[in-house]
Amino acid sequence: MPQRRLGLVAFVSCTFLAVSTAIRIMLAAATPKGAGLKLSLLLKAAAAGVYFDLATLAYAIVPLALYLILVPRRVATHRWHIWLVRFFFALFVGVLIFDICAEFIFFDEFGTRFNFIAIDYLVYTQEVVGNIRESYPLSAIFSGIGAVAAAVCWVLRKPLARGAELTFNGPYHRTGFLLLLPVVLSYGVVNISQSAISRNNYANEIAGNGVYNLFAAFINNELPFTRFYRTLPQNQVNARLRTLVAERNNSFVDPKSERFTRAIRAEGPEKHLNLVVVVEESLSAEYLGTFDNKKGLTPNLDRLASQSLLFTNLYANGTRTVRGLEALTLSVPPLPGTSIVKRPNNGGFRSWGEIMNAKGYQSKYIYAGHGYFDNMNAFFSANGYSIVDRTDFAKDEITFANVWGVCDEDLFRKVIKEGDKSFAARKPFFSMVMTTSNHRPFTYPAGRIDIPPKKGRNGGVKYADYAIGRLIAEASSKPWFKDTIFVIVADHCAGSAGKTDIPIKKYEIPLLVYSPAHIKPARVEKMMSQIDVAPTVLGLMNMSYQSDFLGRDVFKESGQAPRAFISTYQKLGYLTENELLVLGPRQYAAQYKVNRKTGDAKSEPVTDAMLTDMLAYYQGADYLYQHRLNRIR
């Protein structure tokens, strides 16, 4: 076979591999200082990267190979065919340049290659495209991409013309079909987990290929726990989990049942106080002055912290809003794959809202954006909440909005109005409130703070703090204020990138419980999980109720050591005072000795005791979910 017979295939392959290498170099340069990327590790990542680039290329050339097999010779030599080839090659180059831009932006935001987050964003094109349009100069970017693609095509116009005439018909059919074999090998041999070449997560991301990762995330939206992760006999898991969730003054409704429903008995008179849970978008603990941030971004939250029950060692379940909402609403550890919020058949749980409804409350989910995003409306409406989202805001109730939703000030004014309605109806209310202002493009009403809009995360945090201050100030004039508890908590941190599998410092979030007439200010240093928020707040209200929560009230001594659950899309973490155990697909397990103050982690052997406790929670939660044992309908 003459080497030049490969023609267009060679052009496409060389261009793709060159761009993939350029992206890899760019991402390596974009990693933060202290990422631990030594030269030897970078070379290892580069070698693994070529492996994934070739695997991706195997899929990419299939349409081209099939076309060159089928196109008649007389068509291939026609003038219009040559121009058509040039056009599509220019389009191909443009797509690759766009991929460079997209991967850089995504890596800068999330510290990873494309993953399930990118898949989620492809579903909600209005919000995502709007966010990109408001954050970046798209006209200039696309004009630049078009100009570069056209220039490349012009330089290569003559070689492309010669390549356009070379097909795989006639005696060259075998050559064409041979080009289809690599995709078979790629499908059977290559696995996304093979990019985990080291303990350094940045190196693992550099080793991958963004396009390959994107399609792998699309295919593996849910990961069956018992198929991909380490497991123990289910009866052993259930027995251990019963021990781990046991608390003072709690008892199992049916000790012989597989259900974990418990009767929670109060230790004092019930307090039927109103409850407003403000879930702040991306509010990492590190941004608050009360957590030693020196930039003065959160004067209102810092003041409230001194007047609140402040929890200083709370860990978020994951890195997405839906993970935080899942943890707060259902009090369950994160299951691998997509959040329960986004899964089908996600209703009927004994949620926080259902528990409050049983006490006569009006439970509402109040969201600044459109509730169809991330399946929020479907989830909350199926689990005991009434929905108030952007569609319920009158025109005169919106003073400022971006693609994600109305500004936090407008949202909080709506929260107050909804509280007024419930108060007028003589009903206690429970409002779960989700903000959006602390999110790229970081736009908000001008003149509120000393950082102009669109100047980055610090401005988003400071405006969110300003709006919280306004919420408390305006609510304090209401007759229902003195009998209301305000809970302020984050959904997740502002970023999750780190050099370890699950960087623990990227999961630290604040929790404030504020009610001057009912909650004494104090600092709670005990480590806790986001799934512990609901049972702890219900405990502060002295509520007696039936629960399927796997979280616990941190004020009820259970005899168990503190623990937290932290996760990515595939990696699951179980954190104790000084150890972290991480599980992943293909029975992956790694344990670390950790310093929670610095985030440093040192590898150590996996211990049976920690693995047993971790599987009790994660495998147990998966079993309850799969068998619908934590649902009331």
- 374 annotated binding-site participant: no
581, containing H or E segment: strand 579-584
CA distances 431 to 277, 457, 551, Å, are 6, 27, 20
Catalytic residue among 321, 435, 484, 568: 321
> 124: helix, coil or strand?
coil
**Contact by Cβ (8 Å): 496, 532:** no
CA torsion sign for 123, 127, 133, 136 is negative
Q: Which residue has the tokens 């999961």?
A: 507
Q: How far is CA 318 from CA 219, 336, 461, in A?
A: 21, 11, 20
321: annotated active-site residue: yes
The dihedrals phi and psi of 458, each to the nearest 5 degrees, come to -60, -40
Amino acid letter for position 436: T
**491: annotated binding-site residue?**
yes
Amino acid (one-letter) located at 629: L
Q: How far apart are the first and last CA of the chain?
A: 66
CA atoms within 13 A on the CB side of 181: 6
Cβ-count burial 319-353 (b if 16+ within 10 Å, e if not): bbbbbbbbbbbbbbbbbbbbbbbbbeebbebbbbb
Parallel, antiparallel or unpaired: strands 588-594 and 579-584: antiparallel
281 marked as binding residue: yes
Helices 39-60 and 210-219 pack at an angle, to 10 degrees, of 60
Annotated binding site: 281, 321, 439, 491-492
Could you tell me which residues are annotated as the binding site for substrate?
A: 439
Active site positions, annotated: 321
Residues of each annotated binding site for Mn(2+)? 281, 321, 491-492
